[in-house]
Amino acid sequence: MSSGKVIVYGGKGALGSAILEFFKKNGYTVLNIDLSANDQADSNILVDGNKNWTEQEQSILEQTASSLQGSQVDGVFCVAGGWAGGSASSKDFVKNADLMIKQSVWSSAIAAKLATTHLKPGGLLQLTGAAAAMGPTPSMIGYGMAKAAVHHLTSSLAAKDSGLPDNSAVLTIMPVTLDTPMNRKWMPNADHSSWTPLSFISEHLLKWTTETSSRPSSGALLKITTENGTSTITPQ
């Protein structure tokens, strides 16, 4: 018997795959939304990266409704995203800003829309921000713009009349550095004891899904840091 159902938006990436597999291990039915399928998911909704925002929304909403067949989910976790740098004088400034907005803002807004339709009362919507975007990001302006928009979306969704189900919560995680294969590839000599394990985030998402009293306040921006192998969550 399934423990429940969750949606992982970005469930093919490193963090998304870890979350998906952890919830599967704990008896959940998991629906993946991404540019490519995750074989571990119970069902996959593929995003066409060539479509515009509203076209992606329509396609994802239709496929999700067809997959869920009227059932509701316990959590919607949006960990889609990416990184690109650049100051205002960079050749690819606007190009990279456009990419960051597509990867972080489009996905977060569509995840919020999914939550208004398919999340159970008392359910959990999780988005992904960035601690760096709490202040100026001159060397990665597009990234900062996109993540600041996610932070604003979070506070708006936590407010009255946002459209989210009754007693639900929206939380945005802001990990400083995740321990992913790609990060290890590009930063092999870094201090890995200061990187946050993917399991730490997966475990907390499960706890916040099943134990509503353990959740931080809805609308919280949660900075996640790791020092000497010990990870800490600090609401901002």
Tell me whether residue 190 is in a domain: no
Domain count for the chain = 1
Span 158-171, mean pLDDT? 98
Of 23-27, 73-77, 81-85, 170-174, give the lowest mean pLDDT range.
81-85
Give the integer Cα–Cα distance in Å for 199 and 166: 29
Residue 90 has, within 13 A of its CA and on its CB side, a CA count of 16
Tell me whether residue 114 is in a domain: yes
Tell me whether residue 230 is in a domain: no
Tell me whether residue 225 is in a domain: no
Tell me whether residue 90 is in a domain: yes
Using pLDDT thresholds of 50, 70 and 90, give the confidence band for residue 23.
Answer: very high
- Alpha helix ranges (H) inside 69-159: 93-100, 107-118, 141-158
> What is the percent of the chain where pLDDT is above 70?
100
Tell me whether residue 57 is in a domain: yes
* DSSP helix, strand, coil percent of the chain (3-state; round to 5): 45, 25, 35
Catalytic-labelled residue, pool 9, 28, 106, 143: 143
Range of the domain at 132: 4-173
Tell me whether residue 197 is in a domain: no
What is the model's pLDDT at position 179? 87
Give the integer Cα–Cα distance in Å for 155 and 158: 5
Tell me whether residue 56 is in a domain: yes
pLDDT at 6 over 90: yes
What is the model's pLDDT at position 215? 98
Using pLDDT thresholds of 50, 70 and 90, give the confidence band for residue 97.
Answer: very high
Cα torsion angle, 22, 30, 130, 141, sign: positive
What is the model's pLDDT at position 109? 99
What is the model's pLDDT at position 186? 86
Q: Is 28 a catalytic residue?
A: no
Q: What is the CATH number of the domain that holds 117?
A: 3.40.50.720
Residue-wise pLDDT tens digits, 171-222: 999 999 898 888 889 899 888 899 999 999 999 999 999 999 999 999 999 9
Give the integer Cα–Cα distance in Å for 115 and 31: 13
